[in-house]
Structure 1
Amino acid sequence: MSRRVFSKRFSGKVLVVTGAAQGIGKQVALRAVKEGGSVLFVDRADFIAEVAAEAKSDRAAAFSADLETYAGAEAAMRFAADRFGGVDILINNVGGAIRMRPFADFEPDQIDAEIRRSLSPTLYCCHAVLPHLFARGGGTIVNVSSNATRGIHRVPYSAAKGGVNAITQSLAMELGERNIRVVATAPGGTDAPPRRIPRNAAGDTPQEKSWMRDVVEQVKQSSFMKRYATIEEQVAPILFLASDEASYITGSIVPVAGGDLG
């Protein structure tokens, strides 16, 4: 088996990766360390320090914060700047549908919860990081959106990710002349290890499990490739957009969904 060789695209760069305790965010953060970056792993999970320790590097640090609050977002950016001397790149990965059900079956508080999870952290972190990027004279924000802006049984989540797309495009236009790029990927369905923290802490009813199966089938059928992505197939585009290799890309939302544009 050939040994993977990592470049050093992020040498001298400080990255903040949110939602870094598991899934795509964890692998983005670990690979960014391997590629030379100083990386703050941010998550509200109590095991985030354990995850950052997997990097086996003094360029990896952990910070526990609830990014559904502005105070949490601001504290995370301040900690990164204090720990590593500044912030160059923010990767907003917090989010994920809590429930899968037809829109008519959502309760009002469930709608609010989806927006808090999948829109507010990106909005807050984008704002909180700006003083640090201004101090650097530029930087990059990569938002992890979703192709589920078109999909079944996730309308509040779809709305939240549509908001992430709007943030990406409007903020890119606003900040382009300040040497700050704002971009996004729109992942499709992705195979990932079992979650240590479930997306729905209350657990799914048998009916919700049935609706989830409907979603999985729709996602696979909407993909030209009729399959889910691997984690690496999502990590690579995120880190490409974060790197200087993408220096003339801003305001773009890159679908990573096997041909499904969302």
Structure 2
Amino acid sequence: MSRFQGKVLVVTGAAQGIGHGVALRAAAEGGQVLLVDRADFVGDVAAEIAAQTGARTAAFKADLETHAGAAAAMAHAVELFGRIDILINNVGGAIRMRPYAEFEPAQIDAEIRRSLMPTLYGCHAVLPHLLANGGGTIVNVSSNATRGIHRVPYSAAKGGINAVTQSLAMEYAGHNIRVVATAPGGTSAPPRRVPRNAEGDNAREQAWMAEVVEQVTTSTFLKRYGTLDEQIAPILFLASDEASYITGSILPVAGGDLG
């Protein structure tokens, strides 16, 4: 397949998990891809993808919880490839799982910074480049966890991504810019090379996590977690010209659980 032949994609959170899979498949389908992540090993991942696919890829290390990081990443993509056609905003993920009353104020702030601000900043930073280019596509990775237990701040962040998606789509449709999102449910993946919670989970947090896994599994019609491939494919469909008449939509990819 060559859905992304001649296209330049920026994929954030690309060093592992869903982001890595999106970058790999986009490159295999002809795309030129900038992998953006704050992990030190993002350069190695980009080199591996280039070796596997023969595509032109590059890496950029940035903290996307800052606007400066997002702006620098977009500027680097334009410097390397001449333009940006597609942005996949994939950075995010709950840091802690606990009842809302158990969250400390600083932990609430950290969840919003992790799971909302990279997308909010990424959209803002890419828009001047898409406008200069005469259009493009933004795919945001949201979550069906806008309804779920033990992660209220994360749920709020992902609800914000849904609002950003719909509002931006309405505001920029006249500029040939599509803005869409997927809302993944629970997803099975290899162990993370960078843990979601650097401090580790204590015994109570492990018990709360087990309750989240139970809720997520029982809430789906299919009674199982999704696979990485089952999340990657819808993202790339929405990013491609096959979805040219879809904008402002949030596609649940959660085994029937709409969140």
How does the TM-score come out when normalised to structure 2? Answer: 0.98
Structure 1 residue 75 corresponds to structure 2 residue 72: yes
SS at match of 2:121: helix
**Residue among 119, 122, 136 paired with 2:133:** 136
Residue 135 of structure 1 and its aligned partner are, at CA, apart by 1.2
- Tell me the alpha carbon deviations over residues 32-68 of structure 1, each in whole angstroms, 9 at most, x when there is no partner: 0000000000000000001111111351100000000
**Residue among 37, 43, 48 paired with 2:42:** 48
Tell which deviates more after alignment, 57-66 or 13-22.
57-66
**Residue among 94, 102, 109 paired with 1:97:** 94
* Whole-angstrom CA distance in 2 between matches of 1:58 and 1:82: 17
* Whole-angstrom CA distance in 1 between matches of 2:57 and 2:151: 34
Alignment correspondent of 2:150 = 153
* Whole-angstrom CA distance in 2 between matches of 1:240 and 1:185: 10
SS at match of 2:172: helix
Which portions of structure 1, spanning 4 or more consecutive aligned residues, are displaced by more than 3 angstroms?
none
Q: What's the RMSD between the two structures over aligned residues? A: 0.5
SS at match of 1:54: helix
* Whole-angstrom CA distance in 1 between matches of 2:125 and 2:192: 28
Structure 1 stretches of 5 or more lacking a match? 1-6
SS at match of 1:27: helix
Structure 1 residue 37 corresponds to structure 2 residue 31: yes
SS at match of 2:181: strand
Alignment correspondent of 1:23 = 17
Report the number of matched residues.
Answer: 256
Alignment correspondent of 2:176 = 179
Alignment correspondent of 1:3 = none
Alignment correspondent of 1:113 = 110
Structure 1 residue 10 corresponds to structure 2 residue 7: no
Alignment correspondent of 1:59 = 56
Alignment correspondent of 2:228 = 231
SS at match of 1:162: helix
SS at match of 1:204: coil
**Residue among 160, 164, 167 paired with 1:163:** 160
* Whole-angstrom CA distance in 1 between matches of 2:93 and 2:208: 16
SS at match of 1:25: helix
Alignment correspondent of 2:121 = 124
* Whole-angstrom CA distance in 1 between matches of 2:16 and 2:214: 24
Q: Which amino acid aligns with 1:258?
A: G
* Whole-angstrom CA distance in 1 between matches of 2:95 and 2:55: 34
- Tell me the alpha carbon deviations over residues 84-143 of structure 1, each in whole angstroms, 9 at most, x when there is no partner: 110000000000000000000000000000000000000000000011101110000000
